[in-house]
């Protein structure tokens, strides 16, 4: 193969890859993953998100308001998928003491805009009155989440 043919082949390949990347980017939301372009079409979070996110009507007035951990991400984002089992564990272990919710901002762009999300996953910590106490972008371990609640003065160890 001549040098000119090889250069032409490389140029054509670069154009094809660039076009494919442009198409993929156009199909994505403006929200980006927390690990710099980490979003791959892997499966699993959608099923877990069903166990975390609730669309139930508001709790009755006699129910005590709870602190809330809101995780905004996407079901095709790798760090978001890594957060899913942590959210499920927190929801189960701290039921009655902590509300845990996941919102897919690629499926619900309005939620991303409402919470001014620039990077996913983003975790927002709210007190029982709904006031934002803290936010973190990127993967956040269960240990770090629980430590942050303690640092914020929220006792999750109390009885249910």
The domain segmentation of the chain, as residue ranges, is 3-30, 45-151
Cα–Cα distance, 123 to 101 (Å, whole number): 10
pLDDT digits (tens, 9 = 90+) for 95-106: 999 999 999 999
- The most confident of the ranges 31-35, 60-64, 123-127, 155-159 is 123-127
Give residue 13's pLDDT: 62
CB 34 within 8 A of CB 79: yes
In 10 A of CB 66, how many CB atoms?
A: 19
What mean pLDDT comes out for the span 28-51?
41
pLDDT digits (tens, 9 = 90+) for 132-145: 999 999 999 999 99
Say whether pLDDT at 146 is over 70: yes
Give residue 30's pLDDT: 39
What mean pLDDT comes out for the span 49-58?
44
Q: Which residues of 89-117 are buried (b: 16+ CB within 10 A; e: fewer)?
A: ebbeebeebbbbbbbbbbeeeeebeeeeb
Q: Which residue has the tokens 């009507």?
A: 57
Give residue 37's pLDDT: 39
Cα–Cα distance, 76 to 41 (Å, whole number): 5
Give residue 1's pLDDT: 72
Give residue 73's pLDDT: 96
Between 58 and 1, the more confident residue is 1
Smallest CA-to-CA distance from 124 within 74, 81, 160, 72 is with 72
What's the pTM value of the predicted model, to 2 decimals?
Answer: 0.64
Give residue 54's pLDDT: 40
Give residue 2's pLDDT: 77
45-151, CATH topology level: Glutaredoxin (3.40.30)
Alpha carbon 101 to its chain's center: 10
């Amino acid at each position: 193969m001549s040098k000119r043919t090889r250069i032409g082949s490389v140029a054509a390949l670069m154009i094809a890859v660039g076009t494919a990347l442009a198409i993929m980017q156009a199909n994505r939301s403006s929200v980006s993953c927390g690990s710099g372009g980490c979003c791959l079409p892997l499966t699993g979070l959608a099923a877990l998100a069903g166990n975390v996110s609730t669309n139930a009507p508001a709790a009755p007035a006699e129910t005590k308001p709870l602190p809330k951990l809101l995780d905004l991400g996407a079901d095709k984002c790798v760090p978001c998928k890594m957060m899913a089992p942590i959210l499920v564990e927190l929801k189960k272990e701290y039921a009655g003491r902590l509300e845990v919710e996941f919102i897919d901002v690629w499926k619900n762009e309005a939620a991303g805009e409402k919470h001014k999300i620039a990077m996913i996953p983003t975790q927002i910590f709210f007190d029982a009155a709904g006031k934002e106490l803290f936010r973190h972008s990127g993967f956040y371990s269960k240990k770090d989440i629980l430590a942050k609640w303690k640092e914020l003065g929220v006792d999750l160890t109390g009885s249910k």
